[in-house]
Chain A
Amino acid sequence: MKPAKMPLEELMSSGHLACQGCGATQAMRFALKVLGPKTVLAIPACCWSVIDGSFPNSCIDLPIYHTAFETAAVVASGLKAGLEMRGDTESTVMAWAGDGGTFDIGLQALSGAAERNEDIIYVCYDNEAYMNTGIQRSSSTPVGAWTTTTPVTNFKKRPKKNMVEIMAAHSIPYIATASTAYPEDFMRKMQIAKETRGTKYIQILAPCPTGWKAPPELSVSLARRAVTSKIYPILEITRNGQKLKVWKDFKPTPVRDYLLAQGRFRHLKDAEIKTIEREVEDNWQRLLAKEKMLESIPGFGE
């Protein structure tokens, strides 16, 4: 194994208030290593509005704008405009929101910012439910999952919303997915986002052992298995939504193992797991077909 190449500088310190094994916390640490000290954060209501800690014990050595639930992308737009007006074209503005604040209540604001191509990085740390308020389902919750508002007697029947496709439809310069199991990949993508002008959307799978009902020590393992089981494809969409690159260089692992390692899926019957396995494979094939199709158009998106 090669030693990870990453900046030694830490803008996130220990002493945060997250649960054990929190993927969202790992993601923030890696993101800030790339973005550096000239960064302003906009964080709506989400786990991270708590994780950060209260004064004087904040774990982040950067200015933070904690904002209302539905407004991460728009306050980031305002911050960027304000900084530019004051002559600061160097600072990066990053909106950092959970899946509820991105897929649900914040979708309108994010869509507006993306349509205007605001020069911001929007990171959604995706833990697949409203974890901060006590594990209620979001539109990012995958099919089959238990949450406190999708009880096992009536577990979630609809698939996870495809936010990546929604963002691709906005023709923004850079879109990527990532997983906390692959920090170097995530950091490379953050670097591209930092250097690209316009709206950048990065969605990182950030396991929540508390909400997924899994042991904290499995956090990174689950983040890896979500990818290798093809449930959570790692991809990049560039050239304003016209070029897709899917990461395929991994040894596939069973969907079943990923699901059954988590309490939120343990009620699923064999037939239901088989259906999910089929859907995962279908989605994967569709994604690869799309990648191929976009490649096959000569000069497309150049």
Chain B
Amino acid sequence: MEKSESSTTLMMQGNQACAVGALAAGCRFFAGYPITPSSEIAEYLSVQLPRRGGKFIQMEDEIAAMGATIGASLTGLKAMTATSGPGFSLKQENIGYACMTEVPCVIVNVMRGGPSTGMPTLPAQMDVQQARWGTHGDHEIIVLTASSAQDTYEQTIRAFNLSERYMTPVILLLDEIVGHSTEKVVLPRQSEIEIVNRKQPEMPPQDYLPYKTGPDLIPVLANLGSGYRYNVTGLCHDETGFPTNDTRNNEALIRRLVEKIKAHRDDIVRYRERKLDDAEIVIFAYGSVARSAKSAVVKCREKGIRAGLFEPSVIWPFPVKEVFALSGKVKAFLVPEMNLGQLAREVRGAVEFKVPVHQLNRVDGNPITPLEIVNKVEEVI
């Protein structure tokens, strides 16, 4: 598809749009493990990657898939894995490894209900805090969401770009409705797609220090095996990549890993808004719930309630500044989520409790409908 030089309009499933987006972004390696509702991503790439000189591997378990993804990325390939709730839990150790070693990669989690095996075929948004804090230790992470097949296609490309730019794992959180809905997707010309590739070292190998960073705090990792010898370890390490017990170095390393993302949050954070200019109530919604919220905004306006929509396409780093800016202008926030308030607490923190933040939660595997949101708005306004 990306060989065509005109835009193409196709019907496709969200999971397929994710796979097509990955290929457009330059993904040439996928390692995965079967799990509902994400398996279609692997199935599509098992056909398409070999055709493009890429590699698809079905691994023996989830952490293996994460490990292979990191390994492939270290050689310079753009690499991805995809999973769902229980598999996401199993990957966490290696996600932390990728944070620590600053290896770019994309992890797609098509969320289903949990905890544990939960609701394999039903949608949820219960992994948004796990995406932030699932792996142990202090770290920052970039987490994107998408609310349609088109959005999934675009956010997958952006996930690769952010991971290559900031040398970090990027998580794309879809939910079962987005992953399994088939709808129209417009694929732009390949030449129109912004593609970011990681930097390559400019100095000769003998002068190369993999984790020595400039003011942007982002390391330049040579492709492993390209003549630049360096060490990669999950232990605290210095600029050479070798482990160290120097506590001052370790403090600086952990702080840099966090600052690397925080310092660039303005470049990373993105959101979409609808009718926020005169809004008295802001509906903060993401993923498939944002679609219901979009419709709810229209219905509220018909009823004379000035509702607006704030749809974050990046949930971590959380859009604190942007949400806070609204707090002085509106009467209330409503956060509908298919969990018990995982991002409502972030919104509450962001507005510093200046305006009430109401919740509308479902954890039964059913989607949140526009009518439910309208009813809740009427109740709280």
Residues of A within 8 A of B (CB): 45, 49, 66, 68-70, 100, 104-105, 107, 130, 132-134, 136-137, 139, 148-151, 153-154
Contact partner of A105 (CB less than 8 A), chosen from B47, B50, B61, is B61
B224 proximity list for chain A (CB < 8 A): none
B47 proximity list for chain A (CB < 8 A): 151, 153-154
Bound complex: CA A66 to CA B118 (Å): 11
User: Known contacts being A104-B61, A133-B34, is A68 close to B39, with CB within 8 Å?
Assistant: no
Taking a contact as CB atoms under 8 Å apart, the answer to whether B46 and A148 are in contact is yes
A100 proximity list for chain B (CB < 8 A): 34
Contact partner of A151 (CB less than 8 A), chosen from B36, B46, B116, B117, is B46
Taking a contact as CB atoms under 8 Å apart, the answer to whether B50 and A154 are in contact is yes
Taking a contact as CB atoms under 8 Å apart, the answer to whether B43 and A139 are in contact is no
Taking a contact as CB atoms under 8 Å apart, the answer to whether A149 and B43 are in contact is yes
Chain B proximity of A146: nearest CB distance (Å) = 11
Taking a contact as CB atoms under 8 Å apart, the answer to whether A133 and B117 are in contact is no
Bound complex: CA A150 to CA B43 (Å): 8
Chain B proximity of A131: nearest CB distance (Å) = 10
Please, which residue of chain B has its CB at the minimum distance from the CB of A150? B46
Taking a contact as CB atoms under 8 Å apart, the answer to whether B43 and A136 are in contact is yes
Interface residues of B in 3-51 (CB under 8 A from A): 33-36, 39, 42-43, 46-47, 50-51
B33 proximity list for chain A (CB < 8 A): 105
Query: B39, B50, B51 — which one has the most chain A CB atoms within 10 A of its CB?
Result: B39
Interface string of B44-62 (1 = CB under 8 A from A): 0011001100001010111
A70 proximity list for chain B (CB < 8 A): 61, 90
Bound complex: CA A137 to CA B56 (Å): 12
Is B86 among interface residues, defined by CB-CB distance under 8 A? yes
Please, which residue of chain B has its CB at the minimum distance from the CB of A134? B39
Taking a contact as CB atoms under 8 Å apart, the answer to whether A68 and B86 are in contact is yes
B62 proximity list for chain A (CB < 8 A): 105
Chain B proximity of A18: nearest CB distance (Å) = 17
Chain A proximity of B299: nearest CB distance (Å) = 35
Taking a contact as CB atoms under 8 Å apart, the answer to whether B60 and A134 are in contact is no
18 CB-based A-B contacts, threshold 8 Å: A66-B117, A68-B86, A68-B116, A70-B61, A105-B33, A105-B60, A134-B34, A134-B39, A134-B43, A136-B39, A136-B42, A136-B43, A139-B60, A148-B46, A149-B42, A150-B46, A151-B47, A154-B46
Taking a contact as CB atoms under 8 Å apart, the answer to whether B86 and A69 are in contact is yes
Chain A to chain B: the 3 pairs with minimum beta-carbon distance, closest first: A136-B34, A105-B61, A133-B34
Contact partner of B50 (CB less than 8 A), chosen from A107, A132, A136, A153, is A153
Taking a contact as CB atoms under 8 Å apart, the answer to whether B46 and A45 are in contact is no
User: Known contacts being A104-B61, A105-B33, A149-B56, is A45 close to B43, with CB within 8 Å?
Assistant: no
Please, which residue of chain A has its CB at the minimum distance from the CB of B46? A149
Bound complex: CA A262 to CA B86 (Å): 33
Please, which residue of chain A has its CB at the minimum distance from the CB of B38? A133
B39 proximity list for chain A (CB < 8 A): 133-134, 136, 148
Taking a contact as CB atoms under 8 Å apart, the answer to whether B34 and A49 are in contact is no
Residues of B within 8 A of A (CB): 33-36, 39, 42-43, 46-47, 50-51, 56, 58, 60-62, 86, 90, 116-117
Chain A proximity of B221: nearest CB distance (Å) = 30
Please, which residue of chain A has its CB at the minimum distance from the CB of B87? A69
Bound complex: CA A148 to CA B42 (Å): 9
With A100-B34, A104-B61, A105-B60 given, name 12 new contacts (CB 8 A): A70-B61, A133-B36, A134-B34, A136-B34, A136-B43, A148-B39, A148-B46, A149-B56, A150-B46, A150-B58, A151-B47, A153-B51
A107 proximity list for chain B (CB < 8 A): 60
Chain A proximity of B369: nearest CB distance (Å) = 25
A68 proximity list for chain B (CB < 8 A): 86, 116-117
Bound complex: CA A130 to CA B62 (Å): 14
Please, which residue of chain B has its CB at the minimum distance from the CB of A130? B34
Please, which residue of chain A has its CB at the minimum distance from the CB of B89? A68
Query: A66, A136, A153 — which one has the most chain B CB atoms within 10 A of its CB?
Result: A136
A148 proximity list for chain B (CB < 8 A): 39, 43, 46
Please, which residue of chain A has its CB at the minimum distance from the CB of B62? A105
A134 proximity list for chain B (CB < 8 A): 34, 36, 39, 43
Chain B proximity of A43: nearest CB distance (Å) = 11
B86 proximity list for chain A (CB < 8 A): 45, 68-69
Taking a contact as CB atoms under 8 Å apart, the answer to whether A149 and B58 are in contact is yes
Bound complex: CA A133 to CA B112 (Å): 14
Bound complex: CA A107 to CA B33 (Å): 15
Bound complex: CA A105 to CA B65 (Å): 11
Bound complex: CA A153 to CA B56 (Å): 13
B35 proximity list for chain A (CB < 8 A): 133
Chain B proximity of A105: nearest CB distance (Å) = 4
Bound complex: CA A139 to CA B86 (Å): 21
A139 proximity list for chain B (CB < 8 A): 60
Chain B proximity of A55: nearest CB distance (Å) = 15
Query: B34, B43, B60 — which one has the most chain A CB atoms within 10 A of its CB?
Result: B34
Please, which residue of chain B has its CB at the minimum distance from the CB of A103? B60
Bound complex: CA A153 to CA B48 (Å): 10
Please, which residue of chain B has its CB at the minimum distance from the CB of A107? B60
Please, which residue of chain B has its CB at the minimum distance from the CB of A104? B60
Bound complex: CA A136 to CA B42 (Å): 9
A153 proximity list for chain B (CB < 8 A): 47, 50-51
Chain A proximity of B67: nearest CB distance (Å) = 14
Bound complex: CA A17 to CA B282 (Å): 45
Bound complex: CA A154 to CA B49 (Å): 11
B56 proximity list for chain A (CB < 8 A): 149
Bound complex: CA A151 to CA B90 (Å): 27
